[in-house]
Amino acid sequence: MKKTLLIALITLMSLPSFSQARFGIRGGVNIANLSNLETKTRTDFYAGIFLAVKASDAYTFQPEISYSVQGATLNDTTHTLRVENSNLSDVKLEFLSITMMNKLVTQNNISFLIGPYIDIRMADNIRNDGYFLEGLFPRMDLGLQVGLGFDVNDALSIEARYKQGFVDMINENNIYQDYNIDDANFNRVFQIGITYKFNLKQTK
């Protein structure tokens, strides 16, 4: 995990050498859930940094590092996950997210966004209580982000994205009740937020 983070940081630090690179910040709201569970969405936040490397008027490569709080809200009527004795109202999963975003820009300032990501789980609110075991959730998730953006001006943009994970996020089948035992449980996150790009002074 440390090696992955180090490589990502070195990559981001080296990209400003490109003449069209601009550093930026991003943040907004996560509306998250886990598939194939009778749970409700969980609302939290994401925040991070990125480098927008403009290759042409129509294409920008945008590597990102973000902190994303996800999970799902438990359904109190069915107790899909066996947490009756843990007093949990939801499952909270916190990830360091590394995304290789590709931004396709149209002439009317609307952007199409697509890129793969790797999420590294940094924390969760699950403890060993007789039902849950620590290490219940995998350390990493791999997935794809797609979305739309609108450039308000040269610096400020509004974005809406969807994150779809491809890794089964629950390792143990025996935490289920009598259904969905064989179904995979993927991270699903809808994001809405803003980005802001700064001008970088280039040295000659």
Residue 82 has what pLDDT?
A: 54
pLDDT at 120: 96
Confidence at residue 200, expressed as pLDDT on a 0 to 100 scale: 67
Write the Ramachandran bin of 46: left for phi over 0, alpha for psi from -120 to 50, otherwise beta.
beta
Give the pLDDT of residue 8.
56
Residue 178: φ, ψ to 5° = -90, 25
DSSP string, 6-40: HHHHHHHHHGGGSTTEEEEEEEEEEEEEETTSS-B
Domains of the chain: 2-197 (2.40.160.20)
- To which residue do tokens 């990559």 refer? 11
**Digitized pLDDT (tens) for each residue of the chain, 204 residues in all:** 555 555 555 555 554 445 579 999 999 999 999 988 778 899 999 999 999 999 998 999 999 999 999 999 877 655 555 544 455 677 889 999 999 999 999 989 999 999 999 999 998 877 655 554 555 678 899 999 999 999 999 999 999 999 999 998 876 544 544 444 567 889 999 999 999 999 866 544
What pLDDT, on the 0 to 100 scale, is given for residue 178? 42
Closest CA to 29 of 197, 170, 158, 139: 158
